[in-house]
């Protein structure tokens, strides 16, 4: 790890001013991903701005909105009584993430910005367009079992690793940012970018911008929500496939539904066509199967990850059947 400068910021405005004015700087809170990346050489920064002292760690209910400060820790959010009762998918996604120790350290903002687990990205001996733009993507013809079947490009097929981001995508969350030009709010559906020809650009963050909080609207279906994560081992493992689902039914008819997927897309994956195929229709094995087929219609699987095409449809069927009581 190379030397770097370090400043503890006293306010969000000061943090932004330092980060925006210091070349090749970044923010650090829990540091659970960033410090590993810096130690391994996958990221190199000349300056870290420590934001742990900022007053951005509150979890509050404001009318019909859950407001999660960017410095709230994963464990705090997962165990918050209101989150558990009103947004079970959020709590479940967080509890399915990382280890208890990491959940205690890691902040919500950092969780949303964690980098892909693609082995080539984390191995500085390999080429990787995301780490070294223009170098190549060895995953396309190499080891790609954990990679995306949707949203990829000729330049990158890496998945985003955050379970929380998948749950927030299903719930139409909004990410609030503070930058040198002031504050702005970005719907989470627009926060994560497709790789295209610039896989090194992963989010809509502009230089110096800091995540300050995440707002989650309270909806009639959020209380009836679940997170299903399929992984290779029971703890501290990233998703092979995951589904965040929220459902509101009237009798057997789907009144509203939200679905987002992890492990299959280059960003937390949501496809409005899948929800449209279910909305207003009876929740049956046939309608669920049709929604699954629509989900993978544009899939572009690779040699080692073809199994995800069927696995994600089975995961979707499982979670909807459980939520909707389909036998």
Find the shortest distance in angstroms from Cβ 115 to ligand SF4: 9
Burial of residue 326 (number of CB atoms within 10 Å: 0-12, 13-18, 19+): middle
Task: Name the 3-class secondary structure at 262.
Answer: strand
Our finding on whether 150 is near ligand SF4 (CB under 6 A) is no
Task: Specify whether the CB–CB gap between 139 and 118 falls below 8 A.
Answer: yes
Number of residues located near ligand SF4, criterion CB under 6 A: 15
Q: Please report whether residue 270 would count as binding ligand SF4 according to CB under 6 A.
A: no
Is 199 among the residues that bind ligand SF4 (CB under 6 A)? yes
d(CA 138, CA 43): 19
Closest by CA to 18, choosing from 29, 6, 30, is 6
Span interacting with ligand SF4, options 105-113, 130-138, 167-175, 213-221, rule CB under 6 A: 130-138
From 283, 305, 318, select the one nearest 140 (Cα to Cα): 305
The verdict on 138 binding ligand SF4 (CB under 6 A) reads yes
Closer residue to ligand SF4, CB minimum distance, 154 or 232? 154
Please report, in angstroms and rounded to a whole number, the separation of the first and last CA atoms in the chain: 55
114 touches ligand SF4 by CB under 6 A: no
Smallest separation, CB 307 to ligand SF4 (Å): 18
Nearest-5° angle of CA 123, CA 126, CA 200?
80
Q: Rounded to whole angstroms, how far apart are CA atoms 149 and 139?
A: 12
One residue of 91, 97, 114, 129 binding ligand SF4 per CB under 6 A: 129
Q: Is 139 in the site for ligand SF4 (CB under 6 A)?
A: yes
Question: Which residues make beta-bridge pairs with 48?
Answer: 6, 26
* Contact status: 116 vs ligand SF4 (CB under 6 A): yes
Residues in 292-311 at the binding interface with ligand SF4, rule: CB under 6 A: none
Other Cβ atoms within 10 Å of 78 Cβ, number: 19
Does residue 203 touch ligand SF4 according to CB under 6 A? no
- Which residue of 45, 130, 213, 308 would you call a contact of ligand SF4, by CB under 6 A? 130
Q: Binding ligand SF4 by CB under 6 A: which of 15, 29, 157, 216?
A: 157
**How far is the CA of 51 from the CAs of 97, 113, 245, in angstroms?**
23, 15, 33
Footprint of ligand SF4 on this chain (CB under 6 A)?
116, 118, 120-121, 128-130, 137-139, 147, 156-158, 199
């Amino acid at each position: 790890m190379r030397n770097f400068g370090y400043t503890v910021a006293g306010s969000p405005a000061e943090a932004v001013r330092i980060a925006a004015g210091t070349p090749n700087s970044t923010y650090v809170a829990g540091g659970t991903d960033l410090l590993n990346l810096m130690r391994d050489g996958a990221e190199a920064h000349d300056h870290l701005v420590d934001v742990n002292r900022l007053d951005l760690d509150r979890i509050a209910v404001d009318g019909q909105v859950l407001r999660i400060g960017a410095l709230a820790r994963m464990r705090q959010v997962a165990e918050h009584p209101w989150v558990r009762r009103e947004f079970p998918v959020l709590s479940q996604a967080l509890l399915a993430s990382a280890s208890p120790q990491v959940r205690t350290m890691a902040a919500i903002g950092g969780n949303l910005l964690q980098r892909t687990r693609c082995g080539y990205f984390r191995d500085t001996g390999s080429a990787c367009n995301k780490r070294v733009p223009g170098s190549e993507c060895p995953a396309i013809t190499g080891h790609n079992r954990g990679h995306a079947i949707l949203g990829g490009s000729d330049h990158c097929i890496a998945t985003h690793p955050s379970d929380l981001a998948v749950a927030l995508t299903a719930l139409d969350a909004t990410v609030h940012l503070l930058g040198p030009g002031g504050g702005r709010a970005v719907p989470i559906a627009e926060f994560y970018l497709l790789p295209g020809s610039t896989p090194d650009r992963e989010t809509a963050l502009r230089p110096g911008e800091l995540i300050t909080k995440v707002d989650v609207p309270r909806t009639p279906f959020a209380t009836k929500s679940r997170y299903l994560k399929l992984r290779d081992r029971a703890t501290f493992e990233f998703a092979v496939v995951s589904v965040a689902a929220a459902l509101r039914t009237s009798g057997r008819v789907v009144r509203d539904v939200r679905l987002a997927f992890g492990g299959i897309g280059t960003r937390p994956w949501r496809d409005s066509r899948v929800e449209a195929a279910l909305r207003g229709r009876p929740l049956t094995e046939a309608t669920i199967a049709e929604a699954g087929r629509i989900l993978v219609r544009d899939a572009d699987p690779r040699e080692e990850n073809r199994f995800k095409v069927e696995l994600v449809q089975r995961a979707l069927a499982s979670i909807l059947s459980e939520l909707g009581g389909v036998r």
